[in-house]
Amino acid sequence: MLPGFTMAEKILAKKAGRERVEPGEIVEAEVDLAMVHDLTGPLTVEVFEKIGAERVWDPNKIVVVFDHQVPADSTRSAELQKKMRRFVADQGIKHFFDVGRGGICHQVLPESGLVRPGMLVVGADSHTCTYGALGAFSTGIGATDMAYVFATGKLWFKVPPTTRVEVVGELPRGVYAKDVILAVAGEIGSDGANYMAIEFCGEVVKRFSVDERLTLCNMAVELGAKTGLVEPDEKTASYLGANPSSMGEVVRSDEDAEYADQRVLDASGLEPMVACPHSVDNVKPVSEVVGTSIDQAFIGSCTNGRIPDLREAARILRERTVSDGVRLVVIPASQRVYEQAVREGLVEVFVKAGAVVCPPTCGPCLGGHMGVLASGERCISSSNRNFVGRMGSRESEVFLASPATVAASAVAGEIADPRDFLGD
Amino acid sequence: MRVEGKAVKFGDNIDTDVIIPGKYLVYTEPEVLAQHAMEGVDPDFSKRAREGVVIVAGKNFGCGSSREQAPIALKHAGVRCVVAKSFARIFLRNAINVGLPVVEADILNEVDEGDVIAVDLSSGAVADLSKGFFKPIKPFPDFLLEILRDGGLVEHLKKRGFGK
């Protein structure tokens, strides 16, 4: 008897109009949704024009989000955004999130219900793998591939083998989805899942909210993966404001599906984790780096700028202040998250603590603006990459951690264990 | 399809942030991007590459962001081919699409900086002409080889009358 299939294989087979597909096979598939942002959109449009395309294949299936250099930080960015606005208007693109209308693409697409289970989504941004948290096959591509998608609605894909990561046990206090994915990165390595899909499952993942699952899948690319995936369930439905039966095309892996690798992580013994410079898999328990001095702390990004992240940070920052000599930058991931944070009084907590709260943007995560680093400076960040020069000077250093660990460190003025600040 | 150039060596996990730092992503002009190629690890790279080089690297070359500016910067700085033990998948696709040849081969430890490296994509071999060794490489699927031969996806599609 033939073995069963993984979620990734099933979605790609369906979109390629095939009965079955095998890992390693190259198929052409129909795309359900295609996203570009203000830094990848202009190059996509240039290529779109160069290949002689005139109209996009479907203006209802393209999403344009301005999130990287917003509000425009230079005339250069302003010109690029002007060019994209014109393209959006000319092509009649339906889903356009301008400055003040959306936020970081990887929060905006899920929260606005554009991504549904079973979809095939491509985005001109590597963290497009985030949407797998909703049971979609979703992956990052470059501008030329995207121009081809804009013109045809299709793209070739190599069917990935799947690695299954089962997270069991119970998360200890002060340990979050970010710590789980950092622990997985430390174990699998920064290319350990190259060209694969990673399926996250197990009791801990089942208990995770969709926001936490988004954090997990967001960092799948940091292990080299093409996408991260979580089986949709009633939490997915409720997040999408839909019934489990109508939220989309729910795809589950067969019990006898074949996996390239299967790993089990017991979360019960986990400590808060920190990825040290300059690689995401250089992961250590926080206890090994406690006391490392910092100049800046950053809470935000498509990994950890969501409402549960801000709540945890505020729990630590309430009635405390950011240490002298440290800047704390807080950036809610979207307008909706920002509004919610205002309503819950979280923004007040941050401002009173001495943090600067910026409008929704990728900001300093990729060294764009709003808190880039000088030479010799060190930052602890809730974002996803700590490569050389990622957040500014090539002589700066980035440590990656959960928002709670970042908040605790901002108060302590050095890398700190959030469990010392959370109470019981 | 054959390319040749002097080897410039890099290690493992050369990410797209060091290939072209994020602050330059507001540029799409190849010649501007080229001036900053590999700036994150070697600020003088664009000068060294001008005469035409082959990058020889370790595993996971091009990991990180989907920025197509990364292979564009390398290609226009003078990189004729990247030979690495392995590539991150988005970079690999982008490189082919912009017409920058990339091949998987584990030769980093056998090659010295400045050796003349020749790569024949059609027959599937990489050679160190200074040392006199050659290795077979896994050939590309034909459709990708054709894109590379045409100089990238844009030229490839134009040649086939796309959009007409």
Q: Mind listing the pLDDT tens digit for each residue in B37-86?
A: 999 999 999 999 999 999 999 999 999 999 999 999 999 999 999 999 99
Q: Would you state the pLDDT for residue A25?
A: 94
**Topology of domain A274-420, per CATH?**
Aconitase; domain 3 (3.30.499)
Task: Give the closest residue to A57 by CA, choosing from A195, A151, A131, A143.
Answer: A151
Distance (Å, whole) CA B62 – CA A132: 23
Mark yes or no for CB contact B13/A26 under 8 Å: no
pLDDT tens digits, one per residue of A34-59: 999 999 999 999 999 999 999 999 99
Distance (Å, whole) CA A29 – CA A10: 12
pLDDT tens digits, one per residue of A386-409: 999 999 999 999 999 999 999 999
Task: Give the closest residue to A311 by CA, choosing from A209, A216, A219.
Answer: A209
Residue numbers in A near B154 (CB within 8 A): 47, 50-51, 144
Residue numbers in B near A123 (CB within 8 A): 66
Write phi, then psi, for A123 (nearest 5 degrees): -140, 145
Nearest by CB to residue B97, choosing from A123, A145, A390, is A145
DSSP state for residue A159 in the 8-state scheme: P
Distance (Å, whole) CA B36 – CA B47: 10
* Chain A residue closest in CA terms to B71: A142
Asked if ipTM goes beyond 0.90, one says yes
Best mutation site among B12, B17, B106 for testing chain A: the one with the most A CBs within 10 Å?
A: B17
Distance (Å, whole) CA A369 – CA A366: 8
Q: How many CB pairs under 8 A join A and B?
A: 131
Architecture of domain A7-265: 2-Layer Sandwich (3.30)
Mark yes or no for CB contact B21/A151 under 8 Å: no
pLDDT tens digits, one per residue of A239-271: 999 988 889 999 999 999 999 999 999 999 999
Q: Where in chain A is the domain with CATH 3.30.499.10?
A: 7-265, 274-420
Q: Would you state the pLDDT for residue A1?
A: 65
In this prediction, residue B164 has a pLDDT band, given cuts at 50, 70 and 90, of low
Question: Are A386 and A283 a contacting pair, CB within 8 Å?
Answer: no
Task: Tell me, yes or no, if B138 comes closer than 8 A to chain A by beta carbon.
Answer: no
B160 pLDDT higher than 90: no
Rg of the Cα trace of chain A? 21
Write phi, then psi, for A322 (nearest 5 degrees): -65, 135
B111 pLDDT higher than 70: yes
pLDDT tens digits, one per residue of A141-179: 999 999 999 999 999 999 999 999 999 999 999 999 999
Q: Would you state the pLDDT for residue B138?
A: 81
Mark yes or no for CB contact B26/A366 under 8 Å: no
Task: Give the closest residue to A108 by CA, choosing from A84, A128, A88.
Answer: A128
Which secondary-structure segment (H or E) carries A390? none
From B1's Cα to the closest Cα of chain A, the distance in A is 22
Residue labelled with tokens 């991150």: B88
Structure tokens at A382: 């809730």
Taking residue A282's Cβ as centre, other Cβ atoms within 10 Å add up to: 16
Best mutation site among B66, B142, B144 for testing chain A: the one with the most A CBs within 10 Å?
A: B66
Q: Would you state the pLDDT for residue A245?
A: 87
Provide the percentage of residues in chain A whose pLDDT is more than 90. 98
Nearest by CB to residue A224, choosing from B88, B98, B164, is B88
Residue numbers in A near B15 (CB within 8 A): 385, 387-388
- Interval A127-132 mean pLDDT: 98
pLDDT tens digits, one per residue of A61-117: 999 999 999 999 999 999 999 999 999 999 999 999 999 999 999 999 999 999 999
Residue labelled with tokens 């995401």: A280
Q: Would you state the pLDDT for residue A379?
A: 98
- Interval A264-286 mean pLDDT: 97
In three-state secondary structure terms, A301 is helix
Task: Tell me, yes or no, if B89 comes closer than 8 A to chain A by beta carbon.
Answer: yes
Write phi, then psi, for A166 (nearest 5 degrees): -100, 125
Distance (Å, whole) CA B105 – CA B88: 14
* Chain A residue closest in CA terms to B90: A141
Residue numbers in B near A226 (CB within 8 A): 89
Which secondary-structure segment (H or E) carries A280? none
Mark yes or no for CB contact B68/A144 under 8 Å: yes
pLDDT tens digits, one per residue of A295-342: 999 999 999 999 999 999 999 999 999 999 999 999 999 999 999 999
Evaluate the omega torsion of the peptide bond into residue A71 and state whether it is cis, within 30 degrees of 0. yes
Nearest by CB to residue B90, choosing from A80, A141, A389, is A141
Domains and CATH numbers, chain B: 2-159 (3.20.19.10)
Tell me the pLDDT of chain B averaged across its residues: 94
Mark yes or no for CB contact A366/B17 under 8 Å: yes
Task: Tell me, yes or no, if B96 comes closer than 8 A to chain A by beta carbon.
Answer: no
pLDDT tens digits, one per residue of A184-241: 999 999 999 999 999 999 999 999 999 999 999 999 999 999 999 999 999 999 999 9
In three-state secondary structure terms, A199 is strand
Q: How would you classify the pairing of strands B116-120 and B125-128?
A: antiparallel
Residue labelled with tokens 């490392």: A292
Nearest by CB to residue A76, choosing from B26, B65, B66, is B26
Nearest by CB to residue B64, choosing from A194, A195, A385, is A385
Mark yes or no for CB contact B13/A52 under 8 Å: no
